[in-house]
Structure 1
Amino acid sequence: MTAPSRNKNIGPLRRRALAAGAAALSVLALLAAPAAWAQPRQGGTLNWLVNPVPASIVPLTTTAGGNAEIGPKIVEGLLTYDYELKPKPLLATAWSLSADGLQYTFTLRKGVKWHDGKDFTSADVAFSILTLKQVHPRGRGTFANVVEVRTPDPYTAVVVLSKPAPFLLTALAATESPIVPKHLYEGTDIAASKYNSQPIGTGPFVFKEWVQGSHIILERNPNYWDKPKPYLDRVAVRFVLDAAARAAALESGAADLANGTGGIPLSDVERFRKLPGVEIDTRISPYLGSHQQIYFNLDTPALQKVEVRRAIAQAIDVNAFAKTVWYGLGTPSASPIGKGISRYHDASIQPYPYDPKAAEAALDAAGFKRGAGGTRLKLRVLYNPFQERRAADFVRQSLGRIGIDAAVESYDFATYVTKAYTERAFDITLESLTNLFDPTVGVQRVFWSKNFKVGLPFSNAAHYVNPEVDRLLEAAAVEVDETRRRQLFVDFQQIVHRDVPSIELGANPAITVLAKKVRDYGPTGEHIRGSFADLYFRP
């Protein structure tokens, strides 16, 4: 049956008017078409602000933010991902999983060259995966079930597992699992390799120079396999430590792009929304899974008592924290698996009620009564520079109200990592350990007792040990049934919330400031941790 014409009874004059209007719209569409269909423009230098200064560039032996952001412009992963975390080809063009879930077969892209002219082959893939398993902070967990990587020919890599790893296919982006050149790393001290700071990759940009304290220069790879990309001639990574100076550079046009701690103060966001020359992007990378938290050092005698930890949790108003420190731009979450991983997040878990009086009573009962000057105990408070000093001050003030003298210590990023993870010279630390794309990769590392290792950054900072939590995490890591896997993670969240090794804050604000001329800086799920191969300047 044909639908009746909507113009049947409208009269000849009205029909002529509609026809004229349609014709005018068609003309406008044609006039607009060249701009819409235009190819990205070639050329230009991107001035990109990054903070804090990383210790190296490639995210091979560290998951630090600067490495994970800069490295993927130079080195690549087997895959990239869309905003639903569906895999897309990169160095691998095809992939398959065996029926038993124990073998991933990757078909590799042909004709790819390392920046020094050597051919990229399956030998590089095998070497990189087995190296990541040994030296990458999360790789020990991500690739724990990998027993070998077979290379039947230069363009086929077969990853063989002892047990299923349902998260593995999502762990292969450059920001998480970079593929590095075997011929330059093999037989060397991986952690001390000069190629961590002077990288040779297969990616769209070639490392040119690093002037310490100033900048890193990346230049267009003329031999990139995905021509005509990249579109930019150069990426200038600028290290500007002062937030006000970064804001001024972005406002004046001296800088084109900045994100997170490398960007503007949160207090400036609303003002920047009104500026004509810039845009504010609040998209959250699903691959990164932003999340921040407060960890207790469970080797500190006073903090070994769960009553004390719960009292401290009651003294910190998480909702007020989100409003004052995050300016209402974040997403509070009381569970270690935040709302960003909605399929595993347990929404029933809420923050401990803010109740300073109950906190004081609990501390009295635990044997920590106020002494001289009203002080119950003294605690050292650190904070990862990826959190703001204002966050640490909020915690200090909150604890001061219940008689805890919390002394905040400020360090640059490298010193912070040493203090927190090697010297363990803290009682409380404010961290920024992202959930990432799957709890087995982003969350297990924090609460799995087997991942406590002095000197291993961004691991089990609390030194939390609970055999049942270990069992649940290990079972979830190999469970292929999604319903059962979710229940394992829910049970895990409930136990951790009761044990209080941490106070979960939730997803911190994701604020990217970009000049209006900047286009396609984050088209993949990795967002700013992608390659910049698609980035171009519009006229």
Structure 2
Amino acid sequence: MAGGVAGILQPAEPRSLDPVNLSNTFSHQPVLGNALYGTLMVNNLDTLELEYKMATDFSTTDGGSTFTLVLQPGLTFTDETPFDAAAVKFNWDRLRDPALGGTAIRQAGQVSASEVVDPITLKITLRAPNPHFGQGLITNAMNWIASPTALQKGQQAFDANPVGAGPFTLVKWTRQDAIELERNPGYWDAPKPYLDRLTIRSTADTNQRFNALTTGMADLSSESSWSVLAKADASGFPTEVVPTGGGQFLGMNFRRAPFDDERARRAVVLATDLDAINAAVFGGEAAYPQTLFPQSSPYFVDVTLPTQDKQTAQKLFDELAAEGKPVTFTFLSYPSEESKAVAEALQAQLSAFAHVEAEVEVADFAAVTARAGARDFDMMISSAIVQDPDYALWTAFHGSSPGNFTGINDSELSAALDAGRVGTSVEERKTAYETVQKRLVALNPGLWYVLGAPSVISSKELHGIDLYTLGSPLPEELWITE
């Protein structure tokens, strides 16, 4: 069972190996972050309860105003410096710095202060109570702690020698080619990891990733395409899909024309045939959310998301044009084939209407991420893929959230999100999230076009696949048979 080399495919090449520049979702670099830095904690995908790894506790006794993190004693980084509460504080404090441009600020920015209580105990205070803070923490770089000593040497030195306490260490990073990792013999959870080496490559093209699996050039691929998942199932390749609500949506920027006018947002939503997008982009294999929560969710209510109404859409486009505000916008697309196909399918559909014009601009992952952070876009793919509803929905749609890329700022919506966050019973939270759903339908921050598919596809020889949060595999659990 022990030994061997696994080839890993991820969608996005990192800008840097610094955790601040990595993202722990299926569409970015989950295996890489988990491999280099290990994990403080994970969640059980069946119960969503937190389970502990390098941490032994993360809990609140005051309704989420403060949390206490307790670490395993005696942890060290691979540079032999202590992995202690002070190291976690250093990492979490820097993730709050907007100048670093990291996506983890969406969660780290909720922290107002942190205090080292003793070598293994850190207390944090939140800007506002959030009993579900841990569910968001594990989705980003707050879960990945690097050596402060190594980070303080600067990005160039750190990229050459990133220091964590994870199951693997860097051998070599050839940009735009491969990241080669080898087993960390001092990993805290011996005898893991089971593999000797990992070779991680990045490609935005989901079909190229699947072809690499079918030809034996890779063993594990992060995935998001329903059509490729269907091909994998048909070909007998194992797949693991994380069950979620919500999904991906085409976010429209409230901060500037044309989408600062609700009529423009509603017109685009009502003009779009989601079945046609499914056919064009996913070969008809995907589904799109008709309600924000699936019927199996305790928060389900029958508040349906808008569907196509061509006549009303054209009436709105005409109305705006008559006021001198024809709907003209640019779709900022990631370089992935799926993203470009969605953009082009929407552009083609809107071309059948008068007084609306959509252009498509394709940029690399780093550029799109930076422009999202700077709110420099008209329309782009965003997501609110829901496990526990607080993290995804509050982050995407609360008026004060750093992760609110669309700029939606509705007092009733924000109040309902706050109520859902602090509710102490399912009934309280369900009432709050019913209001959330009604306000989102009324305000149209985006066009919900596909259910999320946080997933992996693996070779038949790879075993031990263990996912947490939004499709993040634990590389220390992997093993290969001949």
> What TM bracket, shorter-length normalisation?
0.7 to 0.9
1:122: Cα distance to partner? 1.7
Distance 2:149 2:215 in 1: 42
Residue 361 of structure 1 corresponds to which residue in structure 2?
Answer: 315
Residue 461, structure 1, aligned to residue 416, structure 2: no
Gaps of 5+ in 1: 1-40, 453-458
- CA distance in structure 2 between the aligned counterparts of 1:140 and 1:241, rounded to whole angstroms: 24
- 1:164 is aligned to 2:115: no
After superposition, residues 201-240 of structure 1 pair within 5 angstroms as 201-240=164-203
Question: Contact (CA 8 Å) 2:112, 2:127: kept in 1 or not?
Answer: yes
Distance in 1 (CA, whole Å) between partners of 2:240 and 2:41 is 25
Offset at residue 47 of structure 1 (A): 0.8
Say whether the 8 Å CA contact 2:251–2:379 is kept in structure 1.
yes
Q: Which of 402, 406, 410 is the equivalent residue of 2:358?
A: 406
Whole-Å Cα distance in 2 between the matches of residues 86 and 75 of structure 1? 22
Structure 2 counterpart of 1:279: 237
User: Are residue 199 (structure 1) and residue 162 (structure 2) matched?
Assistant: yes
**8 A contact 1:72–1:531 mirrored in 2:** yes
Show CA shifts across 1:423-480 (max 9, x none).
71x3322x1424354333222232223336xxxxxx3332222222233333433343
Return closer, same or farther for 1:481/1:267 CA change in 2, 3 Å cut-off: closer
What is the CA distance between 1:377 and its match in structure 2?
Answer: 4.4
Q: Is the 8 A contact 1:104 1:159 kept in 2?
A: yes
**In structure 2, what residue type is equivalent to 1:79?**
M
Tell me the equivalent position of 1:378. 328
2:251 and 2:382 in contact (8 A); partners too: no
| Residues 195/474 of structure 1: CA separation in 2 closer, same or farther (3 Å cut) | farther
- Please tell me whether the aligned partners of residues 440 and 473 of structure 1 are also in contact (alpha carbons under 8 angstroms): yes
Contact 2:111 2:125 in 1 (8 A): yes
Q: Structure 1 residues 203 and 399, CA, compared in 2 at 3 Å: closer, same or farther?
A: same
Contact 1:285 1:527 in 2 (8 A): no
CA contact (8 A) 1:380 1:428 kept: yes
Equivalent position to 2:273, from 317, 325, 341:
317
CA contact (8 A) 1:58 1:68 kept: no
How many angstroms apart in 1 are the aligned matches of 2:237 and 2:393?
32
Instruction: Indicate the structure with greater strand content.
Output: 2
Query: In the superposition, relative to structure 1, how do residues 443 and 340 fare at CA in structure 2: closer, same or farther (>3 Å)?
Result: farther
Q: Give me the whole-angstrom Cα distance separating, in 2, the residues matched to 1:353 and 1:144.
A: 35
How far apart in 2 are the matches of 1:122 and 1:414?
Answer: 31
Tell me, yes or no, if structure 1 residue 127 matches structure 2 residue 90: yes
- Distance in 2 between residues matched to 1:185 and 1:290, nearest whole Å: 39
TM-score by length of 1: 0.78
Task: State the Cα distance separating 1:365 from its structure 2 match.
Answer: 2.8
For the residue of structure 1 that corresponds to 2:477, the secondary structure is coil
Residue of structure 2 equivalent to 1:66: 28
Residues 93-104 of structure 1 correspond to what in structure 2 (within 5 A)? 93-98=56-61, 101-104=64-67
Over 3 Å counting, the alpha-carbon distance change for 1:81 and 1:341 in structure 2 is farther
Residues 367 and 94 (structure 1 numbering): CA distance in 2 closer, same or farther, change over 3 Å? closer
User: Which residue does the alignment assign to 2:298?
Assistant: 343
Give the conservation status (yes or no) of the 8 Å contact 1:141–1:441.
Answer: no
Match of 1:433 in 2: 383
The one-letter code matched in structure 2 to 1:444 is W
SS in 2 for 1:171: helix
| Aligned pairs (5 A) from 1:1-16 | none
Conservation of the 8 A alpha-carbon contact between 2:206 and 2:228: no
Partner letter of residue 531 of structure 1? Answer: L
TM-score (norm 2): 0.87
Cα distance between partner residues in 2 of 1:106 and 1:304? 42
Corresponding position of 2:286 = 330
| Residue of structure 1 in register with 2:248 after alignment | 292
Name structure 2 gaps, 5 residues minimum. none
Letter in 2 for 1:54: P
SS of corresponding position for 1:401: coil
Q: Distance in 1 between matches of 2:139 and 2:332?
A: 30
Deviations 1:391-446 (A, max 9, x none): 1111111111112221112122122234444371x3322x1424354333222232
Which AA in structure 2 matches 1:60? V
- The residue type paired with residue 46 of structure 1 is A
Paired residue total: 475
1:533 to 460, 471, 476: 476
